[in-house]
Amino acid sequence: MTADKPLADIASLWIEGPLSWMERASIQSFLDLGHRYTLYSYGEVPNVPEGAVHRDAREIWAQDEIVVHAKAKSPAIHADVFRAIMTCKTRQVWADTDIIAVRPFALAGGWYLGYERGAKLGNAIMGFPEGSETARLLSEFLSSENMVPPWFNAGGQKQLRKMLENGQTIRLGDLPWGSTGPQALSYYAELTGEISHAQPVATFFPVDFGARKMLVDPKQADRVAAFEADERCLSIHLYSRWLRKYTEGRFPKQGSWLGDKLVQLGIAEADQLASAEKKKKAKAPKAKPVPIDPEAFFADLDARKDAVPGGANTSPHGRIVAVTMAKDEGPYVLEWVAYHHLLGFTDLLAFTNDCTDGTDEMLDALAKLGLVTRIDNPPLGTKPPQSRALRRAQVHPLVRAADWVMVFDFDEFVSIKAGEGRVDDAIDIIKDRGATGMAMTWRFFGSGGVPRYSDRLVTERFTNAAGDDFVKGFGVKTLFSHQPGIKLAIHRPNIAGKSDSERVVFNWVNGSGNPVDGRVMTWRQTRNTAGYDFAQVNHYGVKSGEEFLMRRLRGDVLNNHGKYDDAYFQQFDRNETTDRSAADRGRKVKAFIAKLLKDPDVAAAQKLIESRYAEKLERLRTSDGYDDQMRSLREVADQPLASATSS
């Protein structure tokens, strides 16, 4: 390094959550070469490598709504805009978190542009000196509204302009994949002439996408090493979207270039790498949950239940277990637990992953009072959070010992309208009809036009709902007799294997007590099989406008950030009828919550949740895009649906 060639200040973006070995390896490769490295994020990142600087992404772009591609459902669009703004506002050099640095980044003049293939620049590495016209134009264009990309052909531009003339909005996520990345960068670099500063393919992207498998193939390690040995080479691109699927979360093989690099960087030990030996027809063993000793578990559970305020629930029908999973449900935990305890469930089993808002702390505090059992839900193979939670629940002692089981989410509240309104009354109906389960129909609850969050009970704040004929709302959650051979699933249980087909009894009833065939029913009912007379599941998937935007940020239990778009809000913001089936329980729920808050741990967890949620709300409310997002929700809410009963 010389005085006129200082090391580049490297930076990147990670939305939130733990880094995988790939991102840690990328960051460590720059740190080991002496670079200052800044990782920006919109949420907690618990395992940032030591030596890296972790900063709030809102310092660069105060945009809490993560922009995702409409079809690919990828936040890469958000990263494209972020890097353009970052490299224009700062002198930091952007590096994707799947870039492995092999030599110091110290290029004269501060130009960090490189060809990736053909005449196209890659934007996985991007940096400009002060005064760059490319940086200014790229940042201005990608952060503007209703853009018509000038690099589109005449037909494409005409179509977009026609949309604008008709009053339609052009969103970044609706443009074809790649529009905001290399295409945009290449266009403006050519327009300004600054593409003359671009490095050859050998500098940043010597291994192109077509040759990507050589990175993890021991037989081709020497070929990658030859690229690395070229004095012009500063980095190797790993192509993360492909690599994650190819390795399925496991380390690459021994002897491969990438495997050896991970050992060199201290990310993996040699004995952690996959064996390089080829095993014909050998399948990787399925990841299995860590077994829980039933005797020790129930001894602990019984001891905890001695502390349940008012005494633990019992039922003449045996053990009735509610299974749920959560990520950052903090503001709603107390109400959900109190409500379903008062409904009569004998046990609540909750699986949580990557919570940063106090959800874990609250559930743990309630667990000490015997009201719930919380289980960590870390990665299990390549399964998304919901699937791995169900896998763990399947073998959990509480489920195995259950007489009745129901799986449902934190935005769902079971409403029993028969008898005293308890889960026992629903089971009475099931048994009276000689059935083994009840498929309870969803009823979607809308925002009621409420724009902002408040800490009142969800079930009291939202009492406007869909009518009985809302076909999109005919999904179910099933309360069922737990028989041998049953496999848990999110909407309805299934038969575990072929050998269990004959012995499992799936003669169910719906929420009106009418028979339905559990063997042929899917995750939803039809107009003829839906029923609401005795029981339903209140689904609060929208809540207020602000809460919908907050949910959009964190995604769902399938890691799906793109699901909660304006179209979802328009479809499920249902306000055709009034339904107080859960709201009328509010007095008892609030009284029970007041008892729980007398416990110091519960009170402390609630304060933590309130504090962290208030911080996130404040960031949302003061972000540049807040008014536009809220206006957009109001606009789609005012648009007439094609049909309230359309399927």
Domain for residue 280, yes or no?
no
pLDDT band at 220; cut points 50, 70, 90: very high
What pLDDT score was predicted for residue 558? Answer: 39
One domain for residues 187 and 315: no
Domain for residue 481, yes or no?
yes
- Pairing state of beta strands 535-539 and 437-444? parallel
Domain with 41, as residue range(s), is: 10-199
Last residue of a domain, one of 199, 228, 263: 199
Average confidence score pLDDT of the chain: 89
Domain for residue 244, yes or no?
no
Residues 81-118 have pLDDT tens digits of 999 999 999 999 999 999 999 999 999 899 999 999 77
Domain for residue 555, yes or no?
yes
Residue 309 has pLDDT above 90, yes or no: yes
Query: What backbone torsions phi and psi does residue 482 show, to the nearest 5 degrees?
Result: -85, 105
The Cα–Cα gap between 626 and 451 comes to 12
The Cα–Cα gap between 354 and 378 comes to 8
pLDDT band at 421; cut points 50, 70, 90: very high
One domain for residues 377 and 504: yes
Contact criterion met (CB below 8 Å) for 169 and 63: no
What pLDDT score was predicted for residue 207? Answer: 95
The Cα–Cα gap between 428 and 434 comes to 10
One domain for residues 544 and 434: yes
Stretch 498-526: mean pLDDT: 90
Number of domains, the chain: 2
Domain for residue 230, yes or no?
no
Secondary structure letter of residue 524 according to DSSP: B
One domain for residues 309 and 167: no
One domain for residues 188 and 314: no
Q: Name which residue leads in pLDDT, 464 or 501.
A: 464
Q: How many CB atoms lie within 10 A of CB 149?
A: 18
One domain for residues 44 and 160: yes
What pLDDT score was predicted for residue 472? Answer: 85
Domain for residue 246, yes or no?
no
Cα distances (angstroms) measured from residue 251 to each of 47, 285, 333? 18, 15, 36
pLDDT band at 646; cut points 50, 70, 90: very low
Looking at 25-34, 97-106, 122-131, 635-644, which range is the least confident one? 635-644
Q: Name which residue leads in pLDDT, 88 or 164.
A: 88
The Cα–Cα gap between 642 and 570 comes to 11
Stretch 48-53: mean pLDDT: 94
Residues 4-27 have pLDDT tens digits of 578 999 999 999 999 999 999 999
What pLDDT score was predicted for residue 555? Answer: 46
Last residue of a domain, one of 135, 164, 199: 199
What pLDDT score was predicted for residue 560? Answer: 41
Strand order in the sheet with 10-13: 53-56, 37-41, 10-13, 93-95, 120-127, 112-117
The Cα–Cα gap between 285 and 319 comes to 33
pLDDT band at 639; cut points 50, 70, 90: low
Last residue of a domain, one of 199, 231, 258: 199
Domain for residue 308, yes or no?
yes
One domain for residues 189 and 312: no
Alpha helices by DSSP H, listed for 19-97, are 21-32, 76-89
One domain for residues 179 and 305: no
Record the pTM. 0.61
Q: Which residue has the tokens 């994650």?
A: 244
User: Which class for 208: exposed (0-12), middle (13-18), buried (19 or more C-beta within 10 A)?
Assistant: middle
Q: Name which residue leads in pLDDT, 176 or 603.
A: 603
Secondary structure letter of residue 181 according to DSSP: T
Cα distances (angstroms) measured from residue 411 to each of 262, 276, 551, 584? 41, 46, 11, 18
User: Which class for 148: exposed (0-12), middle (13-18), buried (19 or more C-beta within 10 A)?
Assistant: middle
The Cα–Cα gap between 580 and 448 comes to 13
Domain for residue 242, yes or no?
no
Query: What backbone torsions phi and psi does residue 523 show, to the nearest 5 degrees?
Result: -75, -10
Q: How far apart are the first and last CA of the chain?
A: 65
pLDDT band at 638; cut points 50, 70, 90: low
